[in-house]
Amino acid sequence: MKIFAELAEAVEAGNPGEAIAKTKEAIEMDIAPNDILNKGLVAGMDIIAEKWARNEVFIPEVLVAALALNQSVELLKPLLLEADVKPIGKVVIGTAKGDLHDIGKNLVKLMLTAAGFEVVDLGTDVSNDAFVAAIKEHDADLLMVSALLTTTMTYQRLIVDAVRESGLRESVKVMVGGAPVTQSFADDIGADGYAVDAVAAAKLAKEFVLAS
């Protein structure tokens, strides 16, 4: 569909005004908010990610693309959250210590909220002590830690140990994700779950709470 290409182009160009206008247009066309997000806006961010990998764009281009994506996501939020349901579980989420990437984590948060979770977002660069304290404070069912750097994946391994040492391991499921993370890494560190993207993350989180 032409509108998906236009949404992707607006994000890729780092043009928040155009991204917002196209998002409004797509909403008026009654396109499912999930499709506007994934087939349009995220597809544009994927192109930027590929260009970044080939050194064809640099930090400023990436930042304005992220801005365009985030501002459009704000418009979509009410639609994604429309189903007014009671929380099916409580999640503490954040990006690992030393890691400032939050675009993917924010999408996971959005999908979790859309799936009916109450989400406590600790933001980026979160220490493992802060994660453990938040699980206790909010009596969370799930801890979800995102990492985009191979260096910060180390903290995903350490958080599993920290949760165990705090005595909370039996009451909280630990999920990890982020571009460099794999299922085998998650298995290796003893996490309960891994998901490749935001939709899969919300699906698995739901499976965990429904099974408990």
Helices (H) then strands (E): counts for the chain: 10, 5
The yes or no reply on residue 178 touching ligand B1M (CB under 6 A) is yes
CB 202 within 8 A of CB 119: no
Tokens (6 digits) for 94: 């954040």
Q: Cβ contacts of residue 125 below 8 Å, gap of 6+?
A: 95, 97, 98, 99, 100
Q: At its nearest, how many Å lie between ligand B1M and the CB of residue 18?
A: 19
The yes or no reply on residue 150 touching ligand B1M (CB under 6 A) is yes
The yes or no reply on residue 212 touching ligand B1M (CB under 6 A) is no
Q: What is the number of other CB atoms lying within 10 angstroms of the CB of residue 165?
A: 11
Q: At its nearest, how many Å lie between ligand B1M and the CB of residue 22?
A: 18
| 32-71: contacts with ligand B1M (CB under 6 A) | 42, 45, 49, 52-53, 59, 62-63, 66
Cα separation of 20 and 11, whole Å? 10
DSSP state of 174: E
Cα separation of 73 and 94, whole Å? 18
The yes or no reply on residue 107 touching ligand B1M (CB under 6 A) is yes
Q: Which is nearer to ligand B1M, 3 or 103 (CB)?
A: 103
Q: How far is CA 176 from the centre of its chain?
A: 11
The yes or no reply on residue 103 touching ligand B1M (CB under 6 A) is yes
The yes or no reply on residue 195 touching ligand B1M (CB under 6 A) is yes
Q: Which is nearer to ligand B1M, 26 or 176 (CB)?
A: 176
For ligand B1M, the binding residues (CB under 6 A) are: 42, 45, 49, 52-53, 59, 62-63, 66, 98-105, 107-108, 144-146, 148-150, 175-180, 195, 197-198, 201
